[in-house]
Structure 1
Amino acid sequence: MSELLAPAGNMEALIAAVSNGANAIYLGMNRFGARAYANNFSFEELEEAIHYCHLRNVKIYVTMNTIVFDNELEDAYKQIDILYNLGVDGLIIQDLAIFSYVVENYPLLEAHTSTQMGIDDKEGTLLLKELGAKRVVLSREVPIEKIKEIKKECKIPLEIFVHGALCVSYSGGCYMSGLIGYRSGNRGRCVGSCRKPYELINTTQNESLGTSYILSMKDLKTLENINELKVADSLKVEGRMKEPVYVANIIKTYRDALDGKLLKGEEFNLTKTFNRTFTKGYIFHEDKKNIANIDKPNNYGYLIGYVSGKKNGYYEITLSMPVTQGDIIRIDHLGIDVNLSLTKIFDANENLISKADKKFYIQIKEKLFTSDKVYKTKDILFTEELEKSYPKEYKRFPLHITVYGNPNEPLTIIAECEGKTVSYTTDYKLDKALSRPTDYNSFLKQLSKLNDSIYSLASLEFNAYDIFLPVGKINDLRRIIVNLMDNERLSKRTPVLKKEIPFEKIDFKQEKNISVFCTTEEQYKACKDLGIDIIYYNNYIRRNEVTYKDMDGEVLVGGYGGIYHYRGKNKITSDFTMNVVNYKSVYILHKLGINRVCLSLEINKNQIDDLVNDYYKNIGGYPNLEMIVYGHSLMMFTHYCPLKVKGQCGKCRENKYILKDEFGEFPIINHKDCTTTILNGKTLNLMDELDSIPYINTYRIQLTIEDYDESVKIINTLKNKLNGDTTKTFNKELETRGHFNKEIL
């Protein structure tokens, strides 16, 4: 049976999930989790959560799925130590340094690869399995057929997302929030840049295709395909930022579906809590033109009627579904929402009413038109029903009790539950019954009162005769035996003596090189004409949606699958999309056979110094580092095509497009396989900063939208810089230094 994995941003949401049938919970702490804006858990709250869940056979996984800088590693390691001792079942991890620390020190603490790692093929899955992963969380873009193939060939537990918000970018591969607002998704602080409006412009034709929420994905809903999803070991619901009633609703609906108990029509309940409308997702081959809701980025609700007229200052609403006083509605007036809490609703005679089935009337100051559509965004009765669903016991555990006792002897009570056995013997002796003895039925009545516990009395064996015991003492025995069983089920972790694994010395000669990434043939020609030795063009294997092919010479790989496929065959450089920001990750990649490691776009000068110093101190040498010093930075790589939703499918062959907002313009590169790259409109330029990063061996130029002449000029400028030219090149109007001088949040 597949695990149903629920999100919890706080203790109330956790209880709501467990009460409605979740098998496991994932949550974050106050640091190192990819939802920094959720309430999250303190260590004290986590201990309470673990006790609550483990008593009910529910597992807890903690997210530590951000990138971690060198000056944070010790704190991260200390947090892992505490999480292990508290009894956490597993960690969901992005950073290789964190991953290796868990695998090396805590075999009982499962290391799960976060979707932030971008694993979407069997090669990446096999590499992480080899490195010690106990579960791989696949990217949301992986289709069901490929999930089945990975499961069959890799033989490792798989986790997939089945419901909730979708990122437009591959997780871990979006730099938009960080580049626009210095708040990185890879640090858990995504500001939701994809939920903002953008204008799509055909720059070839100088034509605006309108402003919309063109990057805002609908919410994933796979309920209709629940049986096919059971190939995965864990079915994950997104929503650590959502309120407890949302969690209760989604978990209850999917639990009933998994158990074959979902009644006809109950699927509609999913629309009664937060939704952006729904898509079956790429997992079930959703058409790219249908996967985004370009009209509205937040709670859509569900249609319940329309404005049908106005009388005596009251707007008339004709209903297709009933409303109740206390509901919240939104009225779509020319694309602008009028949100209203129904504190007062009226009938046709202007009398206050508490509910309506066919029509009702409201007084509001906003102007509405006849035929404006009306949506319900909160159903007060349904919300109250959900709130009543927790806290409660989704299931109770059978308690088998045996009682032994004779007059003038202590009483012994033994309890067994799911293979655990506890016993208690009184410190007093039983009295002989003078008239009416305390019998089987007396014990049965009191020991059955287990509603304030997780147990139900499954059987009672009574071996006591001619005794008397007051009801109060029987109740005391019940409480004692329940506490003993609880403690037995909450067995403590055995302390682990952490291993001191010696580092292998991996040292590279310090030298200065230029590398150039090319997107077009004319850029490649410019590199060849200027004698560039390190060129990434046809030898580039991107992070996601890869077809591996045999190649000669050096290969630039963007993801873990590329490392698995090409190691031992080719000289490999790992790309910036590996999100490397600390010395331990560099070391691990070098050990895997990576010759050159390109650092993350999200690392600054001081953090580079820390990385190099820590590498030298711990490894005894220097790493072989590459860094992008010029080019339009990647905002995101996405399976989605923003052109298709605007009816421009295929027109990318003749036209170029950009997205535009109040901050600037973002060029779009459309690939032959209908995937999309979105770039920062401002060019990253660190050519004036080379002296401050002396331990970077290879300075990379990232060519994307430049023509031949521009490419030649850029390459020659960097060459001159390395030959001692001190002329300043930075243009503050058109260029950016990215995160180089500012720590990303």
Structure 2
Amino acid sequence: MDKKNELLSPVGSPEAFYAAISNGCNAVYLGLDKFSARAYARNFSLDNLKDYIDYAHLRDVKVFVTMNTILYDEELKEVYNTIDQLAKMNVDAIIVQDLAIINYITNHYKTLEAHASTQIGIDDYHGAKIMKNMGVKRIVFARETPIKTMEEIKKGLGIDIEAFIHGALCVCYSGNCLMSSMIGERSGNRGRCAGCCRQVYTLIDTLNNTNVKTGYLLSMKDLNASSFIKEMKFVDSYKIEGRMKEPLYVASVTNTYRHILDDQKIDSDALNKVFNRTYTKGFMFGENSSNITNIERPNNFGYEIGRVVKVHKNKVWIKLFKKLNKGDQIRIETKNPFEEISIPVLKLFDASFNPCESSDKTVIIYSDEKVDLNAKVYKTKDIKFVEEIEKSLTNKEYKKIIINMEVTGHIGQPLLLKLECQNYKAYAKSDNIIEQAISLPTTKQNIYDQLNKLNNTPYRIGNFIVNLDDKAFIPLKEINELRRKAIANLDSIRLYRKTSLNKPNNIIPQKFDLHRPEISVQVYTQEQYEAAKELEIEHIYYKNFIHRNNPKYIDDDKEILFGGLGSIDYYKDKNKILVSDYSLNVTNYETVAILSSLGVNRITLSQEICKDNINKLIENYFSKYLTYPNLELIVYGRTCLMHSRYCPLKRLNMCGKCKINKYALKDRFATFPITFNSDCTTNIWNSKILNNMDEIQNIIGVNFFRLVFTTETKEETFKIISNFKNSLKNNEKSNSFDKKNHTHGHFFENPL
């Protein structure tokens, strides 16, 4: 593999950090205590991060810090201060979601790179071009992006590309999931995803009021691109997901992909022996919705090793086709798909009932639970594999760096040591002069043996030259001390980096005035559109809406509602009124200003920002830019909890049924309607309708209030718009809030 292709490993703890480096990664990505999309990982602190960065850099491993959450105004100062500290520590890059952070990094630093997180949702040429123009050095593409699209963008723009090759997948387009936030008040965009997609749901036919299927209908399989690495040669960084995973997982997956990238032989079952939900090649390589979820279970699936061929009382005979060891953990399937039998193999017997340590034939084990004949048996823990991987967790050096040594020793002068490593040179001399030997002079082998004591360093000796007087005597402790000084000098030289600063450019947003609030309406059916037209609504989003992901640009309409950054580049100089949607996750005044400076005419705020933060945003914006932002706020409608490339109907071999029936997902507490788009993407909507139409007097400075209609009839649409028009006109409440069916969302309080 080309040396430029890096293997990027996840580290959510110090133990995982050492595990990744000891198993051959070229770079690691980690989070701090705050502003990271994995808030529940152990993470790192600014107090101790410098030591880890130095450890990595001395081993030619880069360190990327994730700061990929949405940010509120009151957090910006702390974030900028954190970035400044990271720059001084020589962090190689920061992976970011918020445009304000991108702008700060690229505006202030030449040597600190900004990498666009997958949370931004870049998946086409136009979005990538916006990132490059902002100074972003690398893009982590949305995981749904076809590999050919990435390659074309690489050829067209020359920007670094980072692609996920292994690990957990989100069923929703990254950065667009509001399910955890809206139903559990824990925001995935703030690093606190509650894992709603890993729960049991029932697909229901709402038209016929029937249950279709119960299972883990949204639980994605894990990505495994190990068979496609050769098709990804153009990729600059191969990324493993897993900052929440244990060190053993990080070590094993890193080691396996290191061998693949280096064209070395691997254990064909290596990736099956670590945590997995079964595997998929992912949408990146054209996976079908029918094969991308594991609806049977949301956790470790293991891998099949045999079948139950006989059961007698508490004895179980298993015919194996893969080895089973004493100390392994297995699970046996039952007739109920939501139940299983998990057994630690404490005792193992062969077919003749003789105790054995391992076997790949027929074995006998004990089970206290009733086991079904012909049941499949899966191994979920391989004790031999675990023991082998554990050996790599002891801070061993994966590949030592060669240093050339030249020693000069003349009687009456200090002993001199010169080190050469890569393009660096370091020197050291002994504190005392060399004396003439009385009996046994120091030999070249004596010097080599002491200088070769490099076990606690990342180095090994390459060329070794000694210029030594024949009768010179040098105490061994002085040679050891000389080695320590020279290595310390070399480390210091290799770690030195001068932070290079940019001269900041000022953001120049468009000038807007406040005006009497207007109504905008977003509809999904022709009947809803007709209701809005009959009420003379000027700003209607219907067929003039460009999705954030998988965009299909249109040119017919004057006003365009867009969900992804690519539209800004596509519609540049086309004389359109551009309205950014909530999916851009705008939660602070700096991001508003950046979008405005890029040509966006109206900016819809995130659905994860409360009224107090909205008011602060407007106040801070005016204070800095002496103009008002042109904002839009959604005040009515079902919130889209997930926009997904995955279709549950296709998974259940029901493709096309969406044109006949209506469907929803139901959990223990609520029912979530599903709508199906012409491009076979799906939208899952909140069970409750957002309704803040009577709360708008709490906000001064928003020019447009949007009403969103999804499952409403024409009559319902007409009535809601009409009532809101009247309440705006008369500056009075409509009293339309229904406590049972409506929600205020995060209007009064930000999510966690």
Provide TM-score, normalisation by structure 2. Answer: 0.96
How far, CA to CA, are the matches of 1:140 and 1:262 in structure 2?
28
Describe the SS at the equivalent of 1:612.
helix
Matching residue of 1:453: 457
How far, CA to CA, are the matches of 1:543 and 1:354 in structure 2?
55
Q: How does 1:113-132 map to 2 (within 5 A)?
A: 113-132=116-135
Q: Which amino acid aligns with 2:637?
A: G
Describe the SS at the equivalent of 1:663.
coil
Q: CA deviation at 1:357?
A: 3.4
Q: How does 1:355-394 map to 2 (within 5 A)?
A: 355-390=358-393, 391-394=395-398
Matching residue of 2:662: 656
Describe the SS at the equivalent of 2:132.
helix
Q: Which amino acid aligns with 2:604?
A: C
Q: Which amino acid aligns with 1:44?
A: D
Conserved? CA contact 2:110–2:500, under 8 Å? no
How far, CA to CA, are the matches of 2:250 and 2:585 in structure 1?
31
Matching residue of 1:473: 478
Aligned pair 1:547/2:552, yes or no?
Answer: yes
Matching residue of 1:685: 691
Matching residue of 1:519: 524
Q: CA deviation at 1:47?
A: 1.5
Matching residue of 2:614: 608
Which moves more between the two structures, 336-345 or 529-538?
336-345
Q: Which amino acid aligns with 1:129?
A: K
Matching residue of 2:35: 32
Q: CA deviation at 1:322?
A: 2.3
Q: CA deviation at 1:442?
A: 2.1
Conserved? CA contact 2:87–2:499, under 8 Å? no
Q: How does 1:564-643 map to 2 (within 5 A)?
A: 564-569=569-574, 570-643=576-649
Q: CA deviation at 1:353?
A: 4.4
How far, CA to CA, are the matches of 1:91 and 1:591 in structure 2?
23
CA distances 1:127-147 after superposition (whole Å, capped 9, x unpaired): 110011011111111111111
How far, CA to CA, are the matches of 1:670 and 1:488 in structure 2?
59
How far, CA to CA, are the matches of 2:498 and 2:247 in structure 1?
30
Q: How does 1:292-311 map to 2 (within 5 A)?
A: 292-311=293-312
Matching residue of 1:46: 49
Which moves more between the two structures, 393-402 or 501-510?
501-510
CA distances 1:67-92 after superposition (whole Å, capped 9, x unpaired): 00111111111111111111110000
1:402 to 395, 399, 406: 406
Describe the SS at the equivalent of 1:74.
helix
Q: Which amino acid aligns with 2:441?
A: P
Aligned pair 1:315/2:290, yes or no?
Answer: no
CA distances 1:323-361 after superposition (whole Å, capped 9, x unpaired): 222211112112212222223344567665443433333
Matching residue of 1:171: 174
How far, CA to CA, are the matches of 1:420 and 1:733 in structure 2?
70
Q: Which amino acid aligns with 1:628?
A: I
Describe the SS at the equivalent of 1:268.
coil
Q: How does 1:190-209 map to 2 (within 5 A)?
A: 190-209=193-212
How far, CA to CA, are the matches of 1:185 and 1:166 in structure 2?
14
CA distances 1:96-141 after superposition (whole Å, capped 9, x unpaired): 1111111111221100000000000000000110011011111111
How far, CA to CA, are the matches of 1:396 and 1:312 in structure 2?
56
2:114 to 107, 111, 115: 111
Describe the SS at the equivalent of 1:388.
helix
Aligned pair 1:324/2:325, yes or no?
Answer: yes
1:719 to 721, 725, 738: 725
Describe the SS at the equivalent of 1:173.
coil
Q: CA deviation at 1:252?
A: 1.2
How far, CA to CA, are the matches of 1:715 and 1:661 in structure 2?
31
Q: CA deviation at 1:312?
A: 4.9
Q: Which amino acid aligns with 1:10?
A: S
CA distances 1:305-327 after superposition (whole Å, capped 9, x unpaired): 23332335323333222222221
How far, CA to CA, are the matches of 1:507 and 1:607 in structure 2?
20
How far, CA to CA, are the matches of 2:169 and 2:371 in structure 1?
33
How far, CA to CA, are the matches of 1:656 and 1:734 in structure 2?
20
Q: CA deviation at 1:258?
A: 1.1
Conserved? CA contact 2:314–2:369, under 8 Å? no
Describe the SS at the equivalent of 1:437.
coil
How far, CA to CA, are the matches of 1:79 and 1:190 in structure 2?
24
Q: CA deviation at 1:363?
A: 3.3
How far, CA to CA, are the matches of 2:510 and 2:624 in structure 1?
9
Q: CA deviation at 1:672?
A: 1.1
How far, CA to CA, are the matches of 1:158 and 1:417 in structure 2?
30
Conserved? CA contact 2:509–2:594, under 8 Å? no
How far, CA to CA, are the matches of 2:125 and 2:226 in structure 1?
25
Q: How does 1:14-25 map to 2 (within 5 A)?
A: 14-25=17-28
Matching residue of 1:488: 493
Q: Per the alignment, do residues 719 and 312 of structure 1 end up closer, same or farther by CA in structure 2, a change over 3 Å counting?
A: closer
Conserved? CA contact 2:68–2:96, under 8 Å? yes
Q: Which amino acid aligns with 2:428?
A: Y
Q: Which amino acid aligns with 1:561?
A: G
1:56 to 53, 56, 59: 59
Q: CA deviation at 1:544?
A: 0.8
How far, CA to CA, are the matches of 1:365 and 1:502 in structure 2?
69
Unaligned runs of 5+ in 2: none
How far, CA to CA, are the matches of 2:367 and 2:280 in structure 1?
34
How far, CA to CA, are the matches of 2:90 and 2:557 in structure 1?
48
Unaligned runs of 5+ in 1: none
CA distances 1:150-188 after superposition (whole Å, capped 9, x unpaired): 111111111111111111111001111111101111111
Describe the SS at the equivalent of 2:724.
helix
How far, CA to CA, are the matches of 1:519 and 1:482 in structure 2?
67
Which moves more between the two structures, 404-413 or 484-493?
484-493
Matching residue of 1:414: 418
How far, CA to CA, are the matches of 1:54 and 1:92 in structure 2?
18
Q: Which amino acid aligns with 2:94?
A: L
Conserved? CA contact 1:253–1:262, under 8 Å? no
Aligned length: 743
Q: Which amino acid aligns with 2:323?
A: P
Describe the SS at the equivalent of 1:588.
helix
Q: CA deviation at 1:372?
A: 2.1
How far, CA to CA, are the matches of 2:375 and 2:723 in structure 1?
59
Matching residue of 1:537: 542
Q: Which amino acid aligns with 1:549?
A: I
Matching residue of 1:250: 253
Conserved? CA contact 2:618–2:701, under 8 Å? yes
Q: CA deviation at 1:743?
A: 2.0
Q: Which amino acid aligns with 1:300?
A: F
How far, CA to CA, are the matches of 1:72 and 1:445 in structure 2?
55
Moved beyond 6 Å, runs of 4+: none
Conserved? CA contact 2:317–2:363, under 8 Å? yes
Q: How does 1:494-505 map to 2 (within 5 A)?
A: 494=499, 499=504, 501=506
Q: CA deviation at 1:543?
A: 0.5
1:563 to 548, 563, 568: 568
Describe the SS at the equivalent of 2:695.
helix
Q: Which amino acid aligns with 1:287?
A: N
Conserved? CA contact 2:110–2:502, under 8 Å? no
